[in-house]
Structure 1
Amino acid sequence: MAKRRIGVLTGGGDAPGLNAALRAVVKTAILRYGWTVVGFLDGYEGAILGRVCELGLDDVRGLLVRGGTILGASNRANPFWFQHPDLGDTEPRDHSATLIATLERFALDALVVIGGEGSLTIAHRLHQLGVPIVGIPKTIDNDVRGTAQTIGFDTAVTTATDAIDRLHTTAESHHRVMLVELMGRDAGWIALHAGVSGGADVILIPELPFTLERVAAVVHRRRERGRHFTIVAVAEGARPSGGEAVFERTGPLPYQRKYGGIAIALQQQLAQLVPTEVRAVVLGHLQRGGSPTPADRALATALGAAAVDALAQDEQGIMVAVRAHPTGQVTWGIVRVPLAEVARGPRLVPLDHPLLLAARNIGISFGQADEG
């Protein structure tokens, strides 16, 4: 049966392009199908508590270039483990039935979830309970299984690359080792792409545990060649061989770990092994902010429209995604991937990825003991 009234929410952390995707959902639903769109405020929290606003064409005007999300996001709200005083809770409990009742109260035929790996895993569980749902992948981390690229990733890489470009000049001028900490959680996509694009000398990613001695050896080798500075791109989830990443526990899965601090730790440790001054820079949420790049605007628009088309064809329990060529290049073939595939866990950098292999070929170190 054709859907007439749909809900939409933006789950998890913000990412450039969220508003562009929201705009595409609303415009496609209204202009192509004549549907009504209801937005939930603050992600799954709004869907549980019934905080809604109807979205019309005027509400999404000007959103293409705007960062963040006009609906708000709450990356701590998991309907299967949620606590709120308005619900009489004294501790977290399963509120999935509360969310489903909210959808029924507002007479919604389906739900569009624009989210990352955690939010889309929740979407899969809701679909298993009977919720007609379609997902759109967004996260700067690019770690959603089933798609070659996520909304927000290109902007984050562009921001990170610009930062590395700027740090090159001060590192070279002052003969420093610059450690640049980049986001990505358990995946090294941002560090890999920004490190290669920014000309980093060392890239440390979670998929390849590193040895500090090897990083120090790169610094020494560059000094011997007259290069008195070194740029190290460090993924926040990078870890030493035989050790752990730097994080703090913040709650139940999927948001149990808050990464950050690896560059500061490495600054202190590496300074004991090299004669060069070592400085750490943590970009943090700068990678999430600002206007999306043209590539992210286009991707968000394509996926937002595709999600509504999927609902019009009575598809549910899927995520709209983009294909990847065997070389690693993203193509514009839109595919529909079961949310069950997304729920299998994050998409990490494969060790035979073309960009990783190219980086090695041009002499970039990944801190491996067996590097020549």
Structure 2
Amino acid sequence: MKKLLVSTGGGDCPGLNAVIRGIVKRASQEQDWEVWGCYEAFNGIMEDPIRVIRLDEKAVAGIHVQGGTILGTTNKGNPMQFPEKQADGTIKKVNRIPWLVERFKSNGFDAIINIGGDGSQAISQALFEAGMPVVGVPKTIDNDLSSTDFTFGFQTAVQTATDSFDRLVTTANSHHRVMIMEVMGRNAGWIALYTAIAGGAEICLIPEIPYDLNKVIEKIESRYNNGRGFVNIVIAEGAMAKNGTITSSKGEEGRTSIRLGGVCFTLSQQLKDAGLEADVRETVLGHTQRGGTPVAFDRVIASVFGVKAMELVLAGKFGRLVVLKNNDFSSVTIKEAISEYNYVDPKGTLVQSAKGLGISFGD
């Protein structure tokens, strides 16, 4: 009997459980494969004793409608830069990939399906190059993997953001306020852009287009007459002003990237310091975008991703990532998938159409 290990790493998002279920349902049709789940990315296999769980059809029954991941997840403990405590008490980052491959094999695992974003897939590639049979599944609500048209979880995050934005529009109108809603988007503004178009925002600020504060104020003031009017702004957490810096904090120990968040308050203060008279309020959606039941679209692509990932394993096609491209499911090499980041194109159709709708990007 061959053993497959499934891992969910990085930030959670709606649809993870649907992928796990898809893998298990497809594997159950074979006679020589059994599926195991690794708790909290690869932390479960790195611990003593290891923390893994047998995944059969009973274990995954009905989980496709649940948010989160039954395996848990983490964005700490990257085995490529693992924080290891030294004898003198200092922390040194070491490459534990070779050790991890031996760990997989010594515990009888013949293949890995790693579900995660660009960071997780970089780990997948490192494992593959070190001799571990790996298949990747793209997961990021930021939709920032260029090899696939959509990643699961993104549409649910956009729906959550749009629902929240719709509520802010009515209260902004009632009080003649400027409402700033911050959404996720570290380096790519896809959630902000889709939400702005769907919600009818006046202003959309994204990482790919650093904003001119004067242009933002100009757009705001065009919406007011004798103090009456309102404006709704969507801003991605990684957005910043021209010649400015991103709003960030150090974050938790063990993370490989800084923690973003609070840019809506930065923008609010900039507007106030510039003398804007309108009443400004701020809302940070934060992790509400990651939680909850996945919408139908995300359930469908996540389920198919799971099936197709298992079929890549069965075919022995390792070092590949399942993707959705031109309304069809296929695969590309993981190396290709992580070679180019999926930024919003400022000259692309969506941005230009948004401008055609009167949405300002502060440029």
1:347 and 1:89 map into 2 onto residues whose CA distance is 40
Q: Answer whether contact 1:216 1:270 (CA < 8 A) is retained.
A: yes
Kindly indicate whether residue 342 of structure 2 is the aligned counterpart of residue 347 of structure 1.
yes
Kindly indicate whether residue 359 of structure 2 is the aligned counterpart of residue 360 of structure 1.
no
2:119 and 2:65 map into 1 onto residues whose CA distance is 26
1:154 maps to 155
2:299 maps to 297
1:327 maps to none
3-state SS of 1:9 partner: strand
Q: Answer whether contact 1:48 1:98 (CA < 8 A) is retained.
A: no
Q: What letter corresponds to residue 104 of structure 2 in structure 1?
A: L
1:337 maps to 332
3-state SS of 2:28 partner: helix
Q: What letter corresponds to residue 38 of structure 2 in structure 1?
A: F
Q: What letter corresponds to residue 143 of structure 1 in structure 2?
A: D
Identity among equivalent pairs (%): 40
> Which one is further off, 349-358 or 53-62?
349-358
1:183 and 1:259 map into 2 onto residues whose CA distance is 9
Q: Answer whether contact 1:246 1:260 (CA < 8 A) is retained.
A: yes
- TM-score normalized with structure 1 length: 0.91
Superposed displacement of residue 131, structure 1 = 1.1
2:289 maps to 287
Q: What letter corresponds to residue 12 of structure 2 in structure 1?
A: D
Number of residues paired by the alignment?
Answer: 358
3-state SS of 2:125 partner: helix
Residues 314-347 of structure 1: CA deviation (Å, up to 9, x unaligned):
10111000014xxxxxx2x012111112232531
2:45 and 2:89 map into 1 onto residues whose CA distance is 17
Superposed displacement of residue 184, structure 1 = 1.3
Kindly indicate whether residue 12 of structure 2 is the aligned counterpart of residue 14 of structure 1.
yes
- Aligned to 2:321, which of 316, 319, 322? 319
1:328 maps to none
Q: Answer whether contact 1:200 1:231 (CA < 8 A) is retained.
A: yes
2:316 and 2:291 map into 1 onto residues whose CA distance is 35
Kindly indicate whether residue 71 of structure 2 is the aligned counterpart of residue 71 of structure 1.
yes
Superposed displacement of residue 252, structure 1 = 9.5
Residues 171-216 of structure 1: CA deviation (Å, up to 9, x unaligned):
0000000000000111100000011101110000000010111111
1:278 and 1:246 map into 2 onto residues whose CA distance is 18
Q: What letter corresponds to residue 97 of structure 1 in structure 2?
A: P
2:100 maps to 99
Q: Answer whether contact 1:179 1:231 (CA < 8 A) is retained.
A: yes
2:135 maps to 134
Q: Answer whether contact 1:41 1:72 (CA < 8 A) is retained.
A: yes
- Give ranges in structure 2 of 5+ residues lacking alignment: none
RMSD: 2.1
2:279 maps to 277
